[in-house]
Amino acid sequence: MASDKISVIVVSESRERLQMAAMVASVGAVSGHRVSVFLSMNALSYFVAGYSPYDIPVEGEFGKLLASKNAPEFMDLFEQAVDLGDAQVFPCSMAMDMLGLKQADMVRYLEEPLGLTRFLDDATGGQVWTF
Amino acid sequence: MSEKKVIDARGTFCPGPLMELIAGIKQSEVGEELEVLSSDEGSAKDIPEWVNKVGHDLVDNFESDGVWHVVVRKAK
């Protein structure tokens, strides 16, 4: 029996991984899955309100393609996962502390910071994807 | 019967057309039809999968001059 729960751990700063994570989160969230996204490490800074990176790192040619073609922006896809589907996006409490960030500093659709213990507990029995 | 809503998602890539359709469905009444125009063949395959999964009706799905037309009726 397949679980309806998808947990997505996002730690990368690369365009390809962020794009794939956002695709899994958004399509999963609008397709009957309960999606929980956990943002940590190098991924977290993208979700600071008003942050507009000049150049998002790519891992290879496909990342350059994503930047040049009209692919949906990964930030928009995460937002749509919340607004159109059943998704919650949590900043990692450890990463928030290390970066000196508060919830008020983050984009509006992020939930309160969450610890890894709780996230892993909630992920039990479902699909877990790491990017 | 209201007119069919057209969602012009040409030029964007998966899952853009699907997400635009879902946003349109949320603003529609049950029974309304929405036609997605997509230049992305992957979306023309993926949208019917989503429609089937969530329980709406796929009315039509065809390609014309490089544009896919996916017609969906909101069923619930």
Whole-number Å distance between alpha carbons of A99 and A63: 26
Domain boundaries, given as residue ranges, for chain B: 5-73
Domain at B5-73, CATH homologous superfamily: TusA-like domain (3.30.110.40)
Predicted local distance difference test score (pLDDT) of residue B2: 65
How many contacts, defined by CB atoms under 8 Å, are there between A and B? 41
Cα separation, A112 vs A63, whole angstroms:
30
Q: Which domain holds residue A92?
A: 5-130
Q: Is B13 in contact with A27 (Cβ distance < 8 A)?
A: no
Look at residue B21 and tell me whether its pLDDT is greater than 80.
Answer: yes
- Give the pLDDT mean for A86-90: 98
**Whether B53 is catalytic:** no
CA distance A114 to chain B (A): 27
Q: Considering chain B, what percentage of its residues have pLDDT values greater than 90?
A: 96
Q: According to the model, what pLDDT value does residue B1 have? A: 56
pLDDT band at B3 (very low <50, low <70, confident <90, very high): confident
pLDDT 10s digits, A1-54: 456 999 999 999 999 999 999 999 999 999 999 999 999 999 999 999 999 877
pLDDT of residue A70: 82
Q: Is the pLDDT of residue B70 over 90?
A: yes
Taking the Cβ of residue A72 and every Cβ of chain B, the question of whether any pair is shorter than 8 Å is answered with yes
Task: Evaluate if residue B14 carries a pLDDT over 90.
Answer: yes
Adjacency order of strands within the sheet including B57-64: B5-8, B33-38, B67-73, B57-64
**Per-residue pLDDT tens over the stretch A95-127:** 999 999 999 999 999 999 999 999 999 999 999
Counting every residue written for chain A, the total comes to 131
In chain A, residues with a C-beta closer than 8 Å to the C-beta of B50 are 27, 30-31
Kindly report the CATH number assigned to the domain that includes residue A20. Answer: 3.40.1260.10
What backbone torsions phi and psi does residue A27 show, to the nearest 5 degrees? Answer: -65, -40
Which chain A residue has the Cα nearest residue B43?
A: A27
Which candidate from A32, A69, A80 shows the least CB-CB separation from B13? A69
**Domain count of the fold of chain A:** 1
Q: What is the pLDDT of residues B31-59, one digit of tens each?
A: 999 999 999 999 999 999 999 999 999 99
* pLDDT at res. A1: 43
pLDDT recorded at residue A83 = 97
Distance CA A9, CA A112 (A): 16
